[in-house]
Structure 1
Amino acid sequence: MLRVCYVAGQPNEPFGSIGREGRPGPPTDRDSPTMKQMHLGVFEVAGPQVGGTLSWPHPRSESLRFHELDHWIHIAQLLDAAGFDFLFFADGYGFPAIDGDLPDLAVRGGINFPALDPALIIPTLAHLTERLGFVVTSSTGLDHPVQTARRFATLDHLTGGRVGWNIVTGASQNTVAQLFGHTEMTQHDARYDQADEYVDLALTLWEGCWEDDAVVGDKTAGVFADPDKLHRIEYAGEHFRSSGYFTVDPSPQRTPVLFQAGTSARGRAYAARNAECVFVQGTTVDQTRANVADIRARAAENGRDPQSIRVMVGVTITVAATHDEALALRQEFDDLQTDEVVAVLYAGNTGIDLLALHPDLPLSQMNNGTGPAGQMGQSNIDRFLGTDGRPAPTVREILDQLRGRGTRGFEVVGSPTEVADQLEALMDDTDLDGFLLEPVFDPADLEDFAALVVPELRRRGRMPAVAATGTLREQLTASGDPHLAADHRGARFRVSPPAAVLAP
């Protein structure tokens, strides 16, 4: 998720100029019990670095330790103690590709390559933390829904109800199709058609097979479960079919918290129907505000409480005791970035090699509707095509915009008060519910934020003095209920004795 770059203490488009010592954001009643709380997550990959940029060679980064459990345990325990809501792992089988092959720079630079399976790390991290949630990406285009439902129900049991599913229709789709032996890549909108059915079947399995009190666990009577309270699933759709019983008994949340990342029009519509937490793309403040409003409006059209959806955006934060120290740290990161790094990242996300295009022309020089281009990474194509009467940027301008940003969201650089000011202002201006931190130097950036910014946010009433506990859903919604809300479409899949026969 690309961000508008604005640096505290310097002129900027969204918020104008602020002083070096910071200034308050939009007026808020910090003594009001109704002040909107700031939810926080951290965006990670089980690889050398986050966001398709270059940072692992820097002395402040320890991300080369991504193979080591101790590295992730330290991060999880740090976030748990600091009051973060969740640790989010992006994941996928794909890799950057230019002209159909893995570029040398991706290998040499560790740009979105390689990566482990983060789902296997989560049970250990949950065991060694008290309340932190864990979200992991899983695509609707590879495994059968039964496999995904079983995996997440197991994780929900092992974490005590602290797991979420980031639903994606695919990433690096052309390379994934080839890797799995498919003859062609499924087209963008068709993937969402398939994803609708995929989630429906998963919800059917989680919600529609076992009644709440089916598990008896009576040692004396020798009864594990009441067979009258299990219901056979019969599902027949265009893409998926299933007949039988779900083998995992109800977990604390039954359905994991449903996350969705994607800001295309189809993605927003999908999120409004299914997602409980949406990760929107941070391009400009105006666009973010519009995307948040659109998702909430669409949710209302689907009969959901629009404010119940937690909408968050990525943010890369560089904070230090003083403004100048923070700027210096950020500059050290920027000095590592090149056009080649940008090109590898963008090609992996969209199928487009920017360095192969004429630098003084916009993306429209390509035929974006055919082939890989235009069928993957749609949001990162659409954003550069020119909208609202503004001309489309040239390829040279796209490279400059993406340098040091990759797929990251907004950027904030400054002292603790400056960072808190900017986060408050951005949240209040756009109706966001919070942020996913995308560390540059990992875990140093997270340690700095926890030590310097979290106390300031607590002082302002944006974070509670004592972090919430319970399942991930309870922490995010403050509803006191670990299960899907009654107005979520998944509620219709709940078992209704004497049988659960559900169709799309």
Structure 2
Amino acid sequence: MKTIHLGVFEVAGPQVGGTLSWPHPRSSSARFHDLEHWVHIAKVLDRGGFDFLFFADGYGYPSVNGDLPETAARGGINFPSLDPAVLIPALARETTGLGFVVTSSTGLDHPVQTARRFASLDHFTGGRVGWNIVTGASQNTIAELFGHTTMQAHDARYDQADEYLDLALRLWQDSWDDDAVRADAAAGVYAEREKLHRVEFSGEHFRSSGYFTVDPSPQRVPVLFQAGTSGRGRVYAARNAECVFVQGTTVAQTAANVADIRAQAAAQGRDPESIRIMVGLTVTVRPTHAEAEELRAEFDAMQTDETVATLYAGNTGIDLLALDPSRDLTQLLDRDDRGPVGQMGQSNIDRFLPKDGRPAPTVREILDDLKGKGTRGFQVWGDPVEVADQLEHLMDEVDLDGFLIEPIFDPADLEDVAELLVPELRRRGRMPAEPVAAATLRERLIGSEAYFRPRARAAESVQPVS
């Protein structure tokens, strides 16, 4: 029986998941500018035995016909947002075991910058940090914000991301010997020069020659997360990720994606069971089923077609409200100029295309399916026993290792999970009776201190800088 790992999916913005919830009296997420809001959440999770707090992040925003829609601004739909990475040292100071995962794209900063940032965070948290690797989001708005003339194609972004991580690994793993730091005040020696090594890297996308300035952090390599269930995304996850966040659609489709990731990892010589695979989960748990159902109904009543369309356009480049509601997404193939379609949010397009001989849903059906769901994964509600039953079913049917809780009403939903659901999961032996005493996030999640890849793996297919 697998242990259930729990993380929490957050954004430093008004609400999670691209749905509308912040105006509800149960929610205080409009206080996302307030450090105390996040300190409270972190303490709730730390006491409740959660493994980590996960921050999605990016510079983009919803765009319809090339501009910010009024719906996004009025409803706070994936807009505005702050940089969550700057929160992490403060939250680490207020907690003892909770890990922190933050998203950073491989399409903007140079790998040296990213390696330095995460090594610093690993020091400041005492080894409790993870990097959620993404190749980008809302790429059309990103291209405009950063002055790029074109938006890089979907699969090409993953090719670049492979090389990006290879260089970051060289910096983390090869620059300093384990015993290079002496910090000997009496001898006046901080580091032994002969144990520092110059990194030479020349690839198709990135070049670097020099010394990495951050000495080895507790984990050396942050725990590597990856989110994405497109075909190319699963290949990347199988090669690189220690923890994979998959999108929950149907039980059968999600199980197929999980099996594919594990099979591809095994084909590359990895232990497929060492990869922690988690799915997003919206939980409404209350002392009684009736209370949970009532609360869920209040949330559902807040959702509109406009909210759904705004979110979907920001993720995929497709304005659902501009399409024929009686037809499926293949109507986009009739267009001569499809713009960003197919180069953004590919998994959120693929899930609604025809497959296995089955008809695809119509645009009207897509709107109905996504209403109240947004980018959220599976959704469950009920009393603690009912919800625990559903979590166990998903764990076993999909071959999961845990869930990223995506709160509707923040932080009240998280308090309910910690106070009502976690004790039930502990009673069943699905979570430890006491919070895990682990030195680092990797030890807590994977059970090992060592990053899985041999050092030489990060250097293959590159040549020294001439």
**Does the TM-score normalized on the shorter chain lie above 0.5?**
yes
* Equivalent residue runs for 1:156-167 within 5 Å: 156-167=122-133
CA contact (8 A) 1:211 1:229 kept: yes
Regions of 4+ moved over 6 Å: 500-503
* Equivalent residue runs for 1:55-204 within 5 Å: 55-204=21-170
Matched position secondary structure for 2:30: helix
The equivalent residue for 1:51 is 17
* Equivalent residue runs for 1:458-477 within 5 Å: 458-468=426-436, 469-477=438-446
Q: Which of 421, 427, 450 does residue 453 from structure 1 map onto?
A: 421
- Offset at residue 283 of structure 1 (A): 0.4
Is the aligned partner of 1:418 residue 2:355? no
Q: Which of 372, 381, 390 does residue 358 from structure 2 map onto?
A: 390
The one-letter code sitting in structure 1 at the alignment partner of 2:287 is A
Rounded to whole Å, the distance in 1 between the matches of 2:439 and 2:26 is 34
Cα deviation digits, residues 56-102 of structure 1 (max 9, x gap)? 00000000100000000000010000000000000000000000000
Unaligned runs of 5+ in 2: none
Is the aligned partner of 1:484 residue 2:445? no
- Offset at residue 370 of structure 1 (A): 4.3
- Offset at residue 493 of structure 1 (A): 4.4
Q: Which of 328, 341, 345 does residue 377 from structure 1 map onto?
A: 345
* Equivalent residue runs for 1:7-406 within 5 Å: 35-367=1-333, 370-406=338-374
Rounded to whole Å, the distance in 2 between the matches of 1:327 and 1:61 is 17
- Offset at residue 445 of structure 1 (A): 0.3
Rounded to whole Å, the distance in 2 between the matches of 1:268 and 1:132 is 27
Rounded to whole Å, the distance in 2 between the matches of 1:102 and 1:493 is 40
Rounded to whole Å, the distance in 2 between the matches of 1:392 and 1:493 is 41
The equivalent residue for 1:442 is 410
Range moving further from structure 2, 386-395 or 236-245: 386-395
Rounded to whole Å, the distance in 2 between the matches of 1:70 and 1:300 is 44
- Offset at residue 318 of structure 1 (A): 0.4
Rounded to whole Å, the distance in 1 between the matches of 2:455 and 2:153 is 26
- Offset at residue 386 of structure 1 (A): 1.7
Matched position secondary structure for 1:453: helix
Rounded to whole Å, the distance in 1 between the matches of 2:456 and 2:372 is 43
Rounded to whole Å, the distance in 2 between the matches of 1:428 and 1:405 is 23
Q: Which of 411, 430, 433 does residue 398 from structure 2 map onto?
A: 430
- Offset at residue 108 of structure 1 (A): 0.5
Cα deviation digits, residues 352-394 of structure 1 (max 9, x gap)? 0000000001011013894201100000000000211210110
The one-letter code sitting in structure 2 at the alignment partner of 1:473 is R
Rounded to whole Å, the distance in 1 between the matches of 2:187 and 2:291 is 68
Cα deviation digits, residues 89-135 of structure 1 (max 9, x gap)? 00000000000000011001000000000000000000110000000
- Offset at residue 470 of structure 1 (A): 1.4
CA contact (8 A) 1:91 1:117 kept: yes
- Offset at residue 458 of structure 1 (A): 0.3
CA contact (8 A) 2:199 2:211 kept: yes
Range moving further from structure 2, 365-374 or 281-290: 365-374
Cα deviation digits, residues 161-181 of structure 1 (max 9, x gap)? 000000000000000000000
- Offset at residue 466 of structure 1 (A): 1.6
Matched position secondary structure for 2:133: strand
Range moving further from structure 2, 160-169 or 387-396: 387-396
Rounded to whole Å, the distance in 1 between the matches of 2:246 and 2:455 is 22
Cα deviation digits, residues 444-467 of structure 1 (max 9, x gap)? 000001110000000000000122
Instruction: Name the TM-score, length of structure 2 as normaliser.
Output: 0.97
Matched position secondary structure for 1:121: helix
CA contact (8 A) 1:320 1:414 kept: yes
Rounded to whole Å, the distance in 2 between the matches of 1:182 and 1:93 is 14
Rounded to whole Å, the distance in 2 between the matches of 1:502 and 1:88 is 36
- Percent identity between matched residues is 74
CA contact (8 A) 1:321 1:415 kept: yes
Rounded to whole Å, the distance in 2 between the matches of 1:501 and 1:205 is 15
RMSD of aligned alpha carbons: 1.4
Matched position secondary structure for 1:41: strand
Matched position secondary structure for 1:412: strand
Rounded to whole Å, the distance in 2 between the matches of 1:422 and 1:436 is 15
Rounded to whole Å, the distance in 2 between the matches of 1:502 and 1:250 is 23
Rounded to whole Å, the distance in 2 between the matches of 1:81 and 1:304 is 34
The equivalent residue for 1:497 is none
Cα deviation digits, residues 176-218 of structure 1 (max 9, x gap)? 0000000010000110111010000000100011000000111
CA contact (8 A) 1:53 1:342 kept: yes
- Offset at residue 323 of structure 1 (A): 0.7
CA contact (8 A) 2:71 2:310 kept: yes
CA contact (8 A) 1:139 1:169 kept: yes
CA contact (8 A) 1:208 1:493 kept: no
- Offset at residue 329 of structure 1 (A): 0.3
- Offset at residue 501 of structure 1 (A): 8.2
CA contact (8 A) 2:174 2:455 kept: no
Matched position secondary structure for 2:213: coil
CA contact (8 A) 1:274 1:489 kept: no
Closer/same/farther in 2, CA of residues 414 and 490 from structure 1, 3 Å limit: farther
- Offset at residue 349 of structure 1 (A): 0.1
The equivalent residue for 1:26 is none
Matched position secondary structure for 1:366: helix
CA contact (8 A) 2:332 2:338 kept: no
